A and B are shown apart, each in its own frame.
Chain A
Amino acid sequence: DVKVTQSSRYLVKRTGEKVFLECVQDMDHENMFWYRQDPGLGLRLIYFSYDVKMKEKGDIPEGYSVSREKKERFSLILESASTNQTSMYLCASSLVRYNEQFFGPGTRLTVL
C-alpha cells in the first residue's frame, strides 16, 4: 500500500513565524502535490512537483514556497505565517500525473 505521511496532524504557530510542513511518500512516485482545504472551497492546489528539484505553481501559491530535494519528500514552507493561512493542508502523490492521487492524513494549521 502507498503510504503518504505528513509531519504533524495539528500545528499552532504565531503570525510571522516561518512554518515547515513535511510530506513523505514511500512508493517512488514522481508527482507530489500540496493542497489547501477550506470549507466550501474544496481542495485548492498550492504547488506541485513532477520531479526532484522541479516545481510548478498551482492556483494559490502566494505566501508559500516548496522544496523537493529528494524524490520521496516534498516540503511546504510558509515564509511568514499569517492568520489567513489557517487551514487544513493536504499532501498527495501520484505515479502518473493525471491518475489517482494518494493523500496524507493532513495537517491542520492554526496561525494566531
Chain B
Amino acid sequence: AQTVTQSQPEMSVQEAETVTLSCTYDTSESDYYLFWYKQPPSRQMILVIRQEAYKQQNATENRFSVNFQKAAKSFSLKISDSQLGDAAMYFCASPNNNDMRFGAGTRLTVKP
C-alpha cells in the first residue's frame, strides 16, 4: 500500500520565485528520517535534504528547506529563488516497516 503521497504530479515556478512541494506519509516508526530526492532529466537521483523526525527544527540546505509537521505527518519542500537547474522530478521518502517508501514524484518545471 502506498504510504507516501505527493498530491502534485506537476508544478511550475518562475525563475527566482519560491515553490513548495507537498508530501504526506504514514509510518509506524517512532524515530526516523524523511528525505527529499531530486532526479534531473536523464541524470542520477540525488539527496536534496533530510529531516530527523525527533528534531523540532526544520532542516535547511541553502535554498531548500522543509516544513515538517510531525503530528500531521506532513513534510513539504520549499525551494527559494528557483533556478533553471532545479527543474527535475522530486521524490519524498519515508521509512515503512523494513524498507523505504517513495512517493509518486512531482515534476517541477522552472520558467525563465
A interface residues with partner B (beta carbon < 8 Å) = 33, 35, 40-43, 45, 48, 56, 58, 90, 92, 98-101, 103-106
Q: Is the CB–CB distance between B44 and A105 below 8 Å?
A: yes
B33 within 8 A of A: yes
B:21-42 near A, CB below 8 Å: 29, 32-33, 35, 37
Q: CB distance A48 to B99 under 8 Å?
A: yes
Q: Known contacts A101-B100, A106-B45; can you find 8 more A-B pairs with CB under 8 A? A: A41-B104, A42-B105, A43-B91, A48-B99, A98-B33, A100-B33, A100-B50, A101-B35
Contact B33 A43 (CB under 8 A): no
Inter-chain contact B45/A90, CB cutoff 8 Å? yes
Is there an interface contact between B104 and A42, defined as CB atoms closer than 8 Å?
Answer: yes
- List residues of chain B with CB under 8 Å of any chain A CB: 4, 6, 9, 29, 32-33, 35, 37, 43-47, 50, 91, 93, 95, 98-105
Show 15 A/B contacts (Cβ-Cβ < 8 Å), sorted by A.
A33-B99, A35-B102, A40-B9, A41-B104, A42-B4, A42-B103, A98-B100, A100-B33, A101-B35, A101-B93, A103-B44, A103-B46, A105-B43, A106-B44, A106-B45
